[in-house]
Amino acid sequence: METTSPLAVALISGGLDSMVAAASMKAAGYRLLALSIDYNQRHQIELAAARRIAGVLGAERHVVLPLDLRAFGGSALTAEIDVPKSGVGSDIPVTYVPARNTIFLSLSLGWAEAAGARDLVIGVNALDYSGYPDCRPEFVAAFEDMAALATKAGVEGDRFRIHAPLQHMTKADIVREGTRLGLDLGMSWSCYDPAPGGVHCGLCDSCRLRAKGFEEAGIPDPTRYAG
């Protein structure tokens, strides 16, 4: 009865976390609508990974939505600001994109309501992360409360659920979970600033967290890093 299983809108960035989060929803019996936002970030290579991931997860549909956040600027990922390479710090870094997850969840919510889905999934986690405010459980909960008031379905008594299955996982936990789910994690892309030859730079926060995850999980890292 595959056609009667519920639909979930899954944000797929092309990265490791969103891949594992979407796969865990699929493993829980959901059919997936995959959403990727082409926000003209520097790492367009992520979108190629997102397409491959949506394919292997058997998404019913994959929308890659162009959205030019360079019009607003304010981040190393959307403006001409250098991506830091000196290690993960304790402040919110310049790679923070203002309101990114709010924007992405809003778009997911719009598609979910239009498609009759009540479940959204996002790969945020608040342990081995870059300190972005919109990755924290209190943000996810507040978004869910807002969604109940924002929508026709909410007014009519339905509840949209924002699933963040990795919320309390370390990066090592995520690597282990992806492996348990049988995923080829090498298919995902994490680097903010790809090195020549289209390989991970190995130095940006995102590469550092990825490499640390495989290492701490004791699972061979399939990623090709520069240098």
Can you tell me whether residue 186 is helix, strand or coil? helix
Q: How far is CA 156 from each of CA 110, 152, 204, 215, rounded to the nearest angstrom?
A: 16, 6, 45, 48
Handedness of CA 163, 168, 174, 180 (dihedral sign): negative
Spatial CA neighbour of 101 closest among 127, 71, 138: 138
Interaction between residue 63 and a copy of itself (CB under 8 A): yes
* Minimum distance of a copy of itself from residue 154's CB (angstroms): 6
Residues 33 and 60: beta-carbon distance below 8 Å? yes
Beta bridge partners of 36: 64
Residue selected from 28, 99, 127, 219 as contacting a copy of itself according to rule CB under 8 A:
99
81 touches a copy of itself by CB under 8 A = no
What is the helix, strand, coil percentage profile of the chain, to 5? 40, 15, 45
How far apart are alpha carbons 46 and 191 in whole angstroms?
8
Judged by CB under 8 A, which of 10, 16, 21, 69 binds a copy of itself? 69
In the complex, the smallest distance separating the C-beta of residue 86 from a copy of itself, rounded to whole angstroms, is: 20
- Other C-beta atoms closer than 10 Å to the C-beta of 130 total 18
Residue closer to a copy of itself by CB (options 68, 184) is: 68
User: Of the two residues 57 and 147, which places its CB atom closer to a copy of itself in the complex?
Assistant: 147
Minimal distance, residue 200 CB to a copy of itself, in Å = 26
The minimum distance between CB 205 and a copy of itself, in angstroms, equals 15
What is the footprint of a copy of itself within residues 121-160 (CB under 8 A)? Answer: 133-134, 136, 138-139, 142-143, 145-152, 154-155
Q: Which of 6, 58, 73, 186 binds a copy of itself (CB under 8 A)?
A: 73
Question: Which one of 103-111, 165-173, 179-187, 189-197 is the stretch in contact with a copy of itself (CB under 8 A)?
Answer: 103-111
Q: What is d(CA 10, CA 123) in angstroms, rounded to the nearest whole number?
A: 9
Chain contacts with a copy of itself (rule: CB under 8 A): 63, 65-69, 71-75, 92, 96-103, 105-107, 109-115, 133-134, 136, 138-139, 142-143, 145-152, 154-155
